[in-house]
Amino acid sequence: MFGPDDAIYFVQSAMPDAGLLFRINPDGTGLRKLFNDRVGFLYGVSPDGKWAALWKGKGVALVPLAGGTPLDLCSTCGTVGAENRGVTPPVISWSRSGRYLYLHFAWTTRDTFAIPLADGQVLPPLPRGGIQNVDEISALPGAQRIAQLRAFMGEDPSVYVFMRAMPQRNIYRVPLP
């Protein structure tokens, strides 16, 4: 994924808990390992470029890219959508401006919540041990539930996209003798 500094951030392996997080410049220079622990998936990089949201173990952690102690967002919420991969939004994402944090409760209700952030804030105050259920997300200051399930969020909570599948079967009548 492209970060706020136009650098490319990636996990070297697609195998669960087998990859390391790297950053490289668009011209191919400056390859750098950012985190020594193995991770399964990169959800995003904060708008200030200081944090990465990673699927680590069964949960999601926010890792400071300059080094330091990761923060646990949740202990069992790591997912990329299983059979719905590609139509399931990331568990965590930010608006480009950094004004909103979006949390997708993919592991049960499929609800997405928008949480406003103050200037310089990357996360709202989280419960001790991270988020465990949808009620804890709803209780975050200013949290609002997005009306559409599996919403991929834009710059603010009024802008999002989602997939709507409309299967059509037996559209041709074939006469049988």
Q: What is the pLDDT along the chain (177 residues), one digit of tens a residue?
A: 898 888 999 988 756 557 899 999 999 999 999 988 888 889 999 999 999 999 888 889 999 998 888 888 888 787 766 666 667 888 899 998 999 999 988 666 778 999 999 998 888 988 888 888 888 888 999 999 998 888 899 999 999 998 887 777 777 777 777
**Tokens 């599996």, residue?**
150
pLDDT single digits (tens) 68-108: 888 888 887 877 666 666 678 888 999 989 999 999 886 66
Closest CA relative to residue 130, chosen from 82, 95, 67, 78: 78
Burial 37-56 (b: 16+ CB within 10 A, else e): ebbbbbbbbbbeeebbbbbb
Domain boundaries, the chain: 8-161
Report how far residue 26's alpha carbon sits from residue 111's, in angstroms, rounded to the nearest whole number.
Answer: 34
Query: Using alpha carbons only, how large is the chain's radius of gyration in Å?
Result: 18
E strands present in the chain: 8-11, 19-24, 32-39, 41-45, 51-56, 59-64, 71-74, 92-94, 100-104, 112-116, 144-145, 152-153, 160-161
Terminal-to-terminal C-alpha distance of the chain:
56
pLDDT of residue 107: 64
